Amino acid sequence: MTAATGVRVIKRYANRKLYDTGAGSLTSQRKLEALVKQGVEIRVIDHETDADITSEILVGVLGASLAERPAEDDIALLTWLIRTPGDLAEAMRGDERRTEELRSMGERVRLLSATIDSLLHQMEAT
């Protein structure tokens, strides 16, 4: 976790392994999902390029989560995802830097929506 931001930093290595710098150990998508549900803010960084790949990893977490859960659990997960942006907007109101971060999150939500549509089409095709 970075002291300045309170964000848990996860590093992804070339072999696709995820390393949780806060816990000091390897982690998994399932463990990342649990962290997010606990309210821990995470940031996933590509070890080689230092690129922020959080959105890519969280989309993968969501896709895996939806594929593994019964339909009634999907509703709870999607409800949680829908409520989260409202909480973030309230916390960020009036802060220009946070406003820009919120715009960035909006783009991530659009990416998530496109990914969900793609997953649904794949499920319908099978």
Residue 81 neighbours by CB distance under 10 Å: 15
Both tokens of 25, joined, read 């150990």
Q: Taking phi first (over 0 means left), then psi (-120 to 50 degrees means alpha), and beta for anything else, what does residue 88 get?
A: alpha
Answer whether residue 1 is part of any domain: no
Answer whether residue 16 is part of any domain: yes
- Split into its structural domains, the chain has a count of 1
Answer whether residue 21 is part of any domain: yes
Give the N- to C-terminal CA distance of the chain in Å, as an integer. 41
**Does the pTM exceed 0.85?**
no
Answer whether residue 3 is part of any domain: no
Query: Domain residues for 115?
Result: 8-125
Measured CA to CA, the distance from residue 54 to residue 11 in angstroms comes to 10
For each of the chain's 126 residues, which pLDDT tens digit applies? 554 557 899 999 988 899 999 889 999 988 988 888 888 888 999 999 998 888 778 777 776 666 665 555 555 655 555 656 555 555 555 556 656 665 676 777 777 887 888 888 778 876
